[in-house]
Amino acid sequence: MAATPAPIEKVSIIVSKGSLEGVYPGLIMANGARAEGMECNLFFTFFGLDAIHRKRMEHLKVATVGNPGMHLPTLIGGLPGMSALATHMMTKKMEELDIPPVGEFMEMIADTGAGIYACKASVDMFHLEKNDFIPQLDDIITVGEFYEMAAGGQIIFT
């Protein structure tokens, strides 16, 4: 660690989960990257596609079962309404922090110049098409094209 290393110039963030707590970390990492002036591209794959799906993006939920971080007994976490309650609580906390809902946040991040990409294999698997996604979507690309785009930066899989 002699000289100061060159700053990170680019991050390519893969979002692979569709729960609220699975999507936000990637968006916050993307927002932080753009705030630092770094190039940033988001690549949505598998259930992560929900986060850029026109109709689903505003209905992402917090997972209350299979998520011991929620500190809820499993049978209570599984009751109807608990996921909605946890989702409501997290949404409220996000608001207090001035972190916008997913749709608005995505728009904000795209406006800063970040790229928004969907994974072709996943889009095909879920029988979706460009029209199902938010207008900020730049393109539907293959994993190979993603790697080409990510060259010279860091890949972060969330």
Contacts to a copy of itself from residues 116-135, by CB under 8 A = 121, 124-126
Q: Which is nearer to a copy of itself, 104 or 125 (CB)?
A: 125
Stretch that binds a copy of itself, among 107-115, 128-136, 138-146 (CB under 8 A): 138-146
Edge-to-edge strand ranges of the sheet holding 139-141:
139-141, 115-119, 39-44, 10-15, 154-157
49-88 footprint of a copy of itself as x/- string (CB under 8 A): -x---------xxxxxxxxxxx--xxx-xxxx-xx-----
Is 44 in contact with 118 (CB distance < 8 Å)? Answer: yes
Would you count residue 112 as binding a copy of itself (CB under 8 A)?
no
Task: Give me the amino acid identity at 72.
Answer: L
On whether the CB atoms of residues 117 and 41 are closer than 8 A, the answer is: yes
Question: Residue 143 interacts with a copy of itself (CB under 8 A)?
Answer: yes
Q: What is the pattern of x (binds a copy of itself, CB under 8 A) and - over residues 20-49?
A: xxx-xx--xx-xxx-xx-xx-----xxx--
